[in-house]
Amino acid sequence: MTTDDLSPRRLPPLRALQAFAAVIRHDGMRRAAEHLHLSHAALSQHVQHLEEAFGLRLLDRSGGGRARPTALGREYGEALIAGFEQIEAATARLRLRGDESRRLVLGAPTSLSVSLLLPRIEEFGADAGFDLQLFCPAAAADLAHSRIHALLMHGDPREQGLQGELLFEQALLPVASPELIARLDPRRWWQDATPGVRVLHVVSDGWRHDWPAWFGDDPSTWPLPHLSLSSPMPAISAALAGQGIALMYPRLIADRLASGELRVLPSPYPAQVKRLYLAWLPEAQGSGRLERVRDWLGEILGESAVG
C-alpha cells in the first residue's frame, strides 16, 4: 500500500484499521496481537503499512521499550475505536430487530442466572411463544451497544442514562453453614476471634460496597479477616463449605436456606437492601415480549421472598 492508494475518499484496508485500533484499545502490541489471534510480526506489518501510507509515525518505537502511540496515533486510534463501536452497535441493533419475532436476549448476573433463571427458562419458553436467551455475565455496556434487549442489574439504570425500573428489593443478611455457626457465638459473631471465622467479600459491581457499609471502606480495620471473591457464586460456595460468612439476599439462596445448608446470623447493624432493576433498549419499550419477561421475573423474584 502506497500513499497513492489513499485518496481523500479511500480508506486503508479494514484489517489494518482493526489492527491499529486494537493496539490503542489494548494499550500495546502484545495484548492486541493476542486479542486478534495474530503474530506480533503480522500485527507490526499492519501498523507499518498504515504509517507508510500516511507518511506519519503512529507509534513511537524509540527507547528500546514498548512501542507507544504518538499524539497523532492516539487521536487516530481513538477515532477508529469510536467508529468501530458505532458499527458494532448498529449491527447489533439490526440483528436484534431481525430476531424480534423469535427471541429476547436478557442479560443477567451469573449468580442470578444459575440460581433462579436457568431452572425455569425452558418452561417459560414453552409458554411464551418466543425464545428467551440468557447472556451472562452482562453489564450496562452490553445494553448500550445493543448486544442484549434487556438487562437485570443491581445499580439504578437511570444513573447510567438507561431506561428501566426497580423490579425487586430485599434485605441483605449474613449467612453461614451450620458447622461454622456451631463454632462461634451467633449473637456477637462479628467480634468472634475463632480461627477460620472470616467474611466473604464480593468485589464485583453491585456487591463491593456491601460489607464496607457495615465495617468501613478499609478492610484492614474490619473486626474479622476477609476473603475477596470475584462474584456471589464463589462466595455462596465458600459459605456452604464453612469457609466464611457471606452477605446475601435470601431470594438468591432460598433453596440453600430451605434445606438448612445455610443459616441466617443476626445483623450487627441495620440491614442493607439489595435492589434489582430491569433495564431495556428504547426500541423494546412497550413490547409484549418485554412485558412478558418482566412479569415472569417478578414472579420468580417474589417467590418466598422475605422483605
CATH: 3.40.50.720, 3.40.225.10, 3.40.190.10, 2.40.40.20. Which one for 101-167+275-302?
Answer: 3.40.190.10
Distance (Å, whole) CA 204 – CA 202:
6
Domain with CATH 1.10.10.10 in the chain: 3-94
Segment (H or E) for 169: strand 163-171
The CA distances from residue 17 to 37, 41, 67, 76, in Å, are 15, 16, 17, 10
Which carries the bigger pLDDT value, residue 139 or residue 247?
247
Q: Which CATH architecture has domain 173-271?
A: 3-Layer(aba) Sandwich (3.40)
CATH 3.40.190.10 placement within the chain: 101-167+275-302, 173-271
Percent of the chain with pLDDT over 70: 91
Distance CA 135, CA 145 (A): 14
CA dihedral 19, 22, 24, 29 (to 10 degrees): -80
* Residue 141 binned pLDDT confidence (cut-offs 50, 70, 90): confident
Sorting pLDDT into bands at 50, 70 and 90, what band is 214?
very high
- Please state which of the ranges 2-6, 51-55, 67-71, 217-221 shows the lowest mean pLDDT: 2-6
Quick: pLDDT tens for 256-289: 999 999 999 999 999 899 999 999 977 677 778 8
**Domain at 3-94, CATH class:** mainly alpha
The cell for 117 is: 433463571
Cα R_g (the chain), whole angstroms = 25
Per-residue confidence band for 307, with pLDDT thresholds at 50, 70 and 90: very low
